[in-house]
A and B are shown apart, each in its own frame.
Chain A
Amino acid sequence: MVKDPVCGMKVKSPSKYSAEAKGAKYDFCSEKCKNNFLSNPNKYIKPINSSEATYSINSKGIEKLDIPIIGIHCSSCIPTIESEIKKLPGIIFVKVNIATEKARIEFNRKKVTAESIIKAIKKAGYKTGQSDLSLGIVGMYCASCVTKIENELKNLPGVLSAGVDLAAEKAFIKYLPSLVNIKEIKNTIEKLGYKTIEPAGTEKLSSKKTLSEREKIEKEPVDENQLAREKEYKTLIRKFVFAAVLGVPFLIISYPDSLGLPEAFRQGAPTLRYLWIAMSILSLPIMFWSGSQFYTGAWAAFKNRSANMHTLISTGISAAWIYSATATFFPEIFPKAELANQFFDAIAIIVALVVLGMALEIRAKGKSSEAMKKLMGLQAKTARVIRNGQESDIPIEEVVLDDIILVRPGEKIPVDGVITEGSSLIDEAMITGEAIPVEKLKNDEVIGATINKTGSFKFKATKVGKDTALSQIIGMVEQAQSSKAPIQKIVDRVAGYFVPAVIIIAILSFVVWYDFGPQPNLIYALIVFVTVLIIACPCALGIATPVSLMVGVGKGAENGILIRNGNAMETAQKLNTVVLDKTGTITEGKPLLTNIITTKDFSEDEVLSLSAGVEKASEHPLGEAIIKGAADRSLTLYEPKEFNAIPGQGVEAVVGEKKILLGNIKLMKNHSVETGDLEEKSKKLADDGKTPMFIAIDGKAAGIVAVADVVKPDSKAAIAKLKKMGLEVVMITGDNKRTAKAIARQVNIDRVFAEVLPPEKAFNVQKMQNEGKIVAMVGDGLNDAPALAQADIGFAIGAGTDVAIEASDITLIKGNLKSVPLAIELSRATMKNIRQNLFGAFFYNGLGIPVAAGLLYPFFGILLSPIIAGAAMAFSSVTVVSNANRLRRFKPKLD
């Protein structure tokens, strides 16, 4: 059996339909596929590509899998991956080939799945070319369809796992994109007689729609939840209008004396009785339509033996209605005429206000999650991929690893990758929060969803699908938003008791007013009962923490600060010590040319170009810094001849007919070069943490070139800011004391731990914690992982596209140290906001309920009307959400 290259079906070879192209024979399932193939063979013939995965199964159930692995740079990586895979059961053979960047694995598919192998590779710290796909399926009616589709998909080469959810009508597929594409997967499902729907988010396109309509749909994925929210908002507004339109006349009729209405509306008049009857009937649709959610919500909760806001409101308005209706229809049962009063106005107005409050809350909450929506909207929809020399626009879901993608000025970069050709300025503000566009050259990393400003370039996709920085950011933000801040625990404890407690308070207040209150006692008791029920607002309490956390986490993401969870958010504000790793955190992490000192016979350019010429032959990282320094001055470099490295001293070579010596003082002395005052100058450079190198030209001392790992431009300001915020700043490094001190001096750090080996960094962090400090550690996520994990808050800095760094509590996408004070400020602002909300909610309920119960009445004669209580309740939770939304305007304070 062979595969039809067009539709992917398995066909017998030789088949009835076959064709030859590029020296190979291909078999097809039908005439149609054959013709399609012949019209454009290049489209269907897969080039023999080293990054391609292959996959085969033999009769014994032994599976062979060739899987591309990304990021193998050295042969030392190989044992790590191999040993991680070998730990799995059922592995027969494993070999990682560094040249092809592939792992060949033979395994027993009964004992281990391809998926767990990929997990093992990931565990070793490497990525494979795996993609996730969720596909809607129409036409499944039974559980047997599920197994059928799953089995068929699993048999498809390149599909690692397939799960079909009958209820959701969806298939979730993990696959190797280099081996199988979405089209083949869809074909497989459709061949079984089911229809597939485009991956989530986009609506199914009907052919009847015009082109422009179709384009619109493609551009704006339909969010069903958003639609539901809109619908709910509109319904609530209609409910509000209905209740309010009836409520206002109710209100007027209820206060005949104070509004000076004619005699006919006064208490006891026959006209009024008819009005009351009308009101009692009209209140019913207000209660059961405008306020229907109170009753359904209350009943659902009641069945589950719990109570919530709906319980309170429905009980309150029901009690008011029963009393008022009794007064309307059976006034004679009341012992006194004045007791036969009605509260229909209160019912209508309370329902109107609470419903309005709910509607406003939907709007306000929509704003709270804006940051998230913005993130989701960033994703590009298509990518212009060059495959087999042909450009084509394909949906972003089909971009696979190692695809070469062309990006033109003004376009969005579709996925993460590395530039292979060209250069450009790229606006990364949406991901990193950095306002100034960044210049990117060949071999630089580009991040998906950022915008290419000026030049065209090609790049190689290194992360696609769920692995892109944007997808990871969205995932992290979502997770953080659904986590709980520890402060929420108090609220949770209170919330469990709150509503039933309010009900009990309301009942007891009724009793107290009935027994000891002024006349008419029944009316007062009822008013107090209803007011207590209505004013209590469990929602404000419940929403206080999560909504601020949501806005705060979203705000962080906008600025390139990813906060892992509520715990990290809460701890970050308590920090009092920040430990900074030196290399790569405070400094650039790579050496740069810093000084050129010359003796009087030579010019700076001459010294530099000759030194750089020598270094062209060496592979030393310091040499690269010198070459880059020369390139920055656009100097011409000559090829070195007779290059010779002298261990522990330096190098010698002939450059442009001149004999050059480049190295330390020992090298000069051994060649009897007179260095004069250069030695003194070199010591000074060394004291500044730089590495000086002497250069001698034709046996004569010519000067010194110095290279150093320089401090990042913003480090000093960021450290000053941290200090100003009251934090102790400490530097930790594996580097020698002299260099460490020199850097510390430059950035004004007083406490330095030098010559600390990476594993000891965590120990040093712990030592500071034992001093009673709450410590943040800032470092890269790789070498500093143990220290980041040990610290109360671990900041992983400069993550770039590698955002999901496990060891860190807060990931900073930008390499800039300024994000650290910004993150701490954001945490402080968020927690302050949460405290305000909690204080507001507790204070409101703590004050509102006793006042509603009439606690102030004996002293000041103050008693709340149920209508005021309704207004207060309706707006208390809107106030909480609005207060949280103030965080959206959070801006770092200028220094």
Chain B
Amino acid sequence: MSADQIIVTLLGIALSFLAGWYFWFSERKAVKIKTTDSGGQEAFIKVKGGYSPNLLVFEAGKPIKLTFYREETASCSEKVIFSDFNKKATLTPFKNVTVELNIDKPGEYNFQCEMGMLRGKLIVE
């Protein structure tokens, strides 16, 4: 094996590990949502090629209000689906669309676009 082949091999393996670590195992940044004075929990989620933030932490038992703002017309992100609650919202581009949830049971609840390309998670503690 020539020197360049050894370099490419090592580099390839290193890159694979890096990709695996970055996408699967690295710690994601979770946004903790604070409870407002009125007892609700409100979060703003920007939708453009993904949800940001896409990992939100809430407290159980308090009403949750998620406001989505879709900054694109790409059809992928048109719908946001909370299948644990049989809820779906159509996100009109460049408009605020609110989804209200009441989650009493702590746990992790996913939300996603219709195809499942864009994903987010609510962590209820």
Q: Which residue of B lies closest to A297 (CB)?
A: B49
For the complex, would chain B's binding face be called helix, strand, loop or mixed by DSSP majority?
mixed
Is B48 touching A296 in the complex (CB atoms < 8 A)?
yes
A358 within 8 A of B: yes
Q: How far is the CA of A615 from the CA of B74 in the complex (A)?
A: 70
Residue from B8, B12, B81 whose CB has the most chain A CB atoms within 10 Å = B12
Which of A361, A491, A497 is in CB contact (< 8 Å) with B116?
A491
Please provide the chain B residues from 84 to 101 with a CB less than 8 Å away from any CB of chain A in the complex. 86-88, 90, 92-93, 95-98
The size bracket of the interface on A is 35 or more
Given A305-B28, A308-B118, check contact A479 B86 (CB 8 Å): yes
Question: With A306-B54, A478-B88 as given contacts, are A300 and B98 in contact (CB-CB < 8 Å)?
Answer: no
| A229 contacts B52, C-beta separation under 8 Å | no
Please tell me if the beta carbons of B13 and A511 are within 8 angstroms of each other in the complex: yes
Within B6-49, the residues touching A (CB, 8 Å) are 8-9, 12-13, 15-16, 19-20, 22-24, 26, 28, 48-49
Q: Give the chain B neighbours of A855 by CB distance below 8 A.
A: none
User: Do A565 and B26 form a contact, CB below 8 Å, given A296-B48, A301-B49, A362-B75?
Assistant: no
B1 touching A515, Cβ below 8 Å? yes
Give Cα A546 to B80, complex, Å: 13
Flag the segment in A10-18, A418-426, A537-545 that touches B: A537-545
Do A165 and B117 have beta carbons less than 8 Å apart? no
* Beta-carbon nearest neighbor of B11 in chain A: A511
Cβ–Cβ < 8 Å partners of A565 in chain B: 86
Bound-state Cα–Cα, A542 to B79, Å: 14
B116 touches A542 (CB 8 A): yes
- Given the interface pairs A225-B92, A303-B52, A304-B51, the reply to whether A168 lies near B119 with Cβ below 8 Å is no
B38 to chain A, nearest CB (A): 10
Evaluate contact between A482 and B116: CB separation under 8 angstroms: no
Tell me if A353 is interfacial: C-beta within 8 Å of chain B.
Answer: no
Q: C-beta contact mask, A223-257 vs B, less than 8 Å → 1, else 0? A: 01100110110010000000000000000000000
Contact B88 A304 (CB under 8 A): no
- Whether A482 lies near B9 (C-beta < 8 A) is no
1/0 per position for B43-84, CB-CB distance to A under 8 A? 000001111111100000000000100001111101101110
State whether the Cβ of A842 lies closer than 8 Å to any Cβ in chain B.
Answer: no
Contact: A515 with B86, CB < 8 Å?
no
By a CB distance below 8 angstroms, the chain A residues around B8 are: 510-511, 514-515
Q: Mark A270-310, 1 if CB is under 8 A from B, else 0.
A: 00000000000000000000000100111111011111111
Flag if A232 contacts B118 (CB, 8 Å). no
**Which B residues are CB-close (under 8 A) to A168?**
95-98
Closest residue on chain B to residue A541 by CB atoms: B116
Asked if A579 is at the interface (CB within 8 A of a chain B CB), the reply is no
Q: Is A269 an interface position by the 8 A CB rule?
A: no
Interface residues in A297-329 by Cβ distance below 8 A to B read 297-301, 303-310
Chain A residue at minimum C-beta to C-beta distance from B55: A304
Complex interface: chain B residues within 8 A of A587 (CB): none
How far, in whole Å, are A224 and B93 apart by their CA atoms in the complex? 8
Cα distance A893–B117 in the bound complex, in angstroms: 36
| Interface: A131 (CB within 8 A) | no
Query: Does chain B have a CB within 8 A of A365?
Result: yes
- Tell me the minimal C-beta distance from A880 to chain B in angstroms: 10
Would B50 and A504 count as touching, CB distance under 8 A?
A: no
Partner of A228, one of B5, B12, B73: B73
Q: Report whether B73 and A231 are in contact in the complex, using a CB–CB cutoff of 8 Å.
A: yes
Rounded to whole angstroms, the CA-CA distance of A307 and B19 in the bound complex is: 10
Given A168-B96, A497-B24, A480-B86 contact (CB < 8 Å):
yes
User: A743 an interface residue at 8 Å Cβ cutoff?
Assistant: no
Residues of A within 8 A of B115 (CB): 539, 542-543, 546, 877
Q: A228-B92, A306-B119 are in contact. Are A293 and B86 (CB under 8 A)?
A: no
Give min CB distance, B61 to chain A, whole Å.
18
Q: Is A484 part of the binding interface, using a Cβ–Cβ cutoff of 8 Å? A: yes
Provide the residues of chain B in CB contact with A78, threshold 8 Å.
none
The docked-state distance in angstroms from the alpha carbon of A479 to that of B89 is 10
Closest CB in chain A relative to B112 CB, distance in Å: 8
Shortest beta-carbon distance from B53 to chain A in Å? 8
Instruction: Give A543 to B24 CA distance when docked, in angstroms.
Output: 22
Task: Decide if B20 touches A500 in the complex (CB within 8 Å).
Answer: yes
Report the minimal beta-carbon distance from A505 to chain B, rounded to whole angstroms. 9
Given A479-B86, A542-B117, A224-B92 contact (CB < 8 Å): yes
- For A229, list chain B residues within 8 Å (CB): 73, 75, 78
Task: Give the distance to chain B from A24, nearest Cβ to Cβ, in Å.
Answer: 43
User: Are the C-beta atoms of A305 and B23 separated by less than 8 Å?
Assistant: yes
Assess whether A507 is in contact with B48, with CB atoms less than 8 Å apart: no
B52 x A504 contact (CB < 8 A):
no
Which of A232, A306, A307 is the one whose CB lies under 8 Å from B75? A232
Assess the A304–B92 pair: CB atoms within 8 A: no
- In the assembly, what is the distance between CA of A403 and CA of B55, in Å? 49
Known: A296-B48, A306-B54. A500 touches B24 (CB 8 A): yes
A304 touches B23 (CB 8 A): no
B-chain residues with CB within 8 Å of residue A611 when the two chains form the complex: none
Chain B residue nearest in CB terms to A361: B75
Q: How far is the CA of A224 from the CA of B74 in the complex (A)?
A: 14
Smallest Cβ-Cβ distance to A543: which chain B residue: B115
Provide the residues of chain B in CB contact with A165, threshold 8 Å: 98
Complex contacts, A358 vs chain B, CB 8 Å = 75
Closest to B116 in A: A542
Q: Roughly how many angstroms separate A154 CA and B86 CA in the complex, as a whole number? A: 31
A361-B113 Cα distance, complex, nearest whole Å: 15
Q: Is the CB of B93 within 8 A of A228?
A: yes
Partner of A308, one of B53, B82, B98, B117: B117
Contact between chains at B15 and A507 (CB < 8 Å): yes
What is the bound-complex CA distance between A564 and B13, given in angstroms? Answer: 48
Residues of chain B within 8 A of A235, CB atoms compared: 73
A894 within 8 A of B: no
Check A304/B54 contact, CB under 8 A, given A482-B87, A500-B20: yes
Q: For the complex formed, measure the closest distance between the CB of B118 and the CB atoms of chain A, giving whole angstroms.
A: 7
A residues whose Cβ falls under 8 Å from a Cβ of B: 165, 167-168, 224-225, 228-229, 231-232, 235, 293, 296-301, 303-310, 358, 361-362, 365, 478-484, 488, 491-492, 495, 497, 499-500, 503-504, 507-508, 510-511, 514-515, 538-539, 541-543, 546-547, 565, 877
What are 22 inter-chain pairs, A to B, with CB distance below 8 A? A228-B93, A229-B75, A235-B73, A297-B50, A304-B28, A304-B50, A304-B53, A305-B22, A305-B26, A309-B117, A480-B86, A499-B23, A503-B23, A508-B12, A508-B13, A508-B16, A510-B8, A514-B12, A515-B8, A515-B9, A539-B115, A539-B117
Known: A305-B22, A309-B117. 16 other contacts (CB 8 A): A224-B93, A225-B90, A296-B72, A298-B49, A301-B49, A303-B50, A303-B52, A304-B28, A306-B54, A308-B117, A365-B75, A500-B20, A503-B19, A504-B16, A507-B19, A538-B116
List the 9 closest A-B pairs by CB distance, nearest first. A482-B88, A300-B49, A542-B116, A297-B49, A511-B12, A300-B50, A500-B23, A542-B115, A167-B96
